[in-house]
Amino acid sequence: MLNDRKSTSCAPEDSPSLLGRDDLIRTETPQSGILAGIAQTRSFVERQRTLSGYVYALIRVIEHSSAWVGSTQNIDFKIALGQLIGHCGEEVANLHYRLKTLLTKDVTPIATDEYERWLASAATLHDVRSQAAFLSGTLSGLCRHLAWYMSNTDPIGDQPTVILLRGTEISLNHQIAIISSFAADWQDIAFPAPVTATNSHSYLGTEAVPPLVDQPGRPETWQYSEQQIIKPMSHQNYDHLIELGEHMQRWLHQVGIDVEINAMEICGRNIVEFRDMPIEFKLDMARQVWDETRHAQMMRRHLKELGSDFGDYTYCNKVWSKYMLGSTLAERLAIEQVLQEGHALEANIPFGEAMNDAGILHIAEMIDYVDADELRHAYFGCKWLIHIHDGSDTAYLDTVRDMAIRLDMPLAPRGPLQAELRKVAGYPDAFIDLLAMASSKPPQATSSDANGTALAQR
């Protein structure tokens, strides 16, 4: 029986904090800024506003980086941007939580008008060196202000903030060291704390951002092909991969580029294109960008161990192409996170078991990390698709079924249905029942049957 819920979260009731950040960030309309009658001192309010300013700066860095992660042709810079997006997203989540404990109500990120003009000016940067210089300078100036804050706040009363910012400073300085290696020259950009309401700018989601691209950037030396480089094979037969020869090279190459890098580009686009979504949505997408980046890095590392590298084979951007068949955020979440990430839950398990049984432990361990992340990504898709549909399972099912038809993708998983994992990932019971019925029917051949194995199915 379908349940048209009015809740906007689909996390299991007995595990509300397992996969999401629903308890960290409010998404209602901002109001007074602090709870009435609590903050009595100007210095306390200024600290709240300064932390909110840090959030603003990091969100704008995330937005710029998310646009550039899709457009850049430099694969190493793309990976560096993916790492930066993920780290900044984690710091924003931590800062939001601290603002809540400081009794800040319905936080809206704020910045001075002058600082926003600086951030907006970077939307027109097109070359890697200029983009890297902007990011390095902005983050370096922010870190300098973090150090100032820690030196000037109450070391006892504000100790939780000091501990938090110390970790933020370390994380951002590590990212600066990586990003700045792509810049020929750069300098600190001072961060002006928005401590007063005068000349301050509240984040609206309409600020200038770099343009989005219809096709993700790739090195000019790479060759595109509409054909995938993995030969069709049974999901019960992994002999060719176990040999750790050319077939494994092809698998790591295709999944690393046409699945993982495509997925990080997709989530980056979601952050920029759908800016009217709550900040929590941006952070979930930033987390997935980070996860997909790490997956690509692991696969590239193992590919190099086999004597190959990204670019040695052709690429096809199949996951990106499928994603672009959706015209709305709901359709695109159904395509990428709900259907493709969801099907990977079942497909990866027998593949990981085969690698483990064959003693190929470094690949098996990689799949374990990927599986853990895929579960979270499917959760993100279910959570936000149900949010968009105002809690309606009926609308959720209609969207997912429509997208499965549009993709010519069977609903039945490519392995034994993992009903419990699907529940943890937030799939409605009605949809899990639908998958169970589809799994019990004889498989029907579709054009998607030639997708390869395990992760490559996405």
Q: What confidence tens digit (pLDDT) does each residue in 387-398 have? A: 999 999 999 999
pLDDT of 247-274, one tens digit each? 999 999 999 999 999 999 999 999 999 9
Q: Where are the domains of the chain?
A: 42-195, 239-457
Please indicate whether the domains covering 42-195 and 239-457 agree at the CATH topology level: yes
For residue 293, the SS3 value is helix
Dist CA 330 CA 334 (whole Å): 6
Q: Exposure pattern of 66-96 as b/e (b: 16+ CB <10 Å)?
A: bbbbbbbebbebbbbbbbbbbbbbbbbbbbb
Q: Does domain 239-457 have CATH number 3.30.70?
A: no
3-state class percentages of the chain: helix first, strand second, coil last, to nearest 5: 60, 5, 35
Q: What is the pLDDT of residue 331?
A: 98
Please state, for a pLDDT cut of 70, what percent of the chain lies above it: 86
- Phi and psi torsions of 315, nearest 5°: -125, 160
- State how far Cα 17 lies from the chain centre: 18
Which option is the CATH number for 42-195: 1.10.760.10, 1.20.1260.10, 2.60.40.10, 1.20.1250.20? 1.20.1260.10
Please compute the mean of the pLDDT values over residues 84-108 and round it to a whole number.
92
| Token duo for residue 452 | 């390869």
pLDDT of 281-317, one tens digit each? 999 999 999 999 999 999 999 999 999 999 999 999 9
CA trace torsion 403, 409, 412, 415 (10° rounding)? -130
For residue 250, the SS3 value is helix
| Token duo for residue 257 | 């580029």
For residue 104, the SS3 value is strand
Question: For 72, how many CA atoms within 13 A lie in the half-sphere containing its CB?
Answer: 27
Whole-model pTM over 0.85 = yes
The per-residue pLDDT of the chain, averaged, comes to: 87
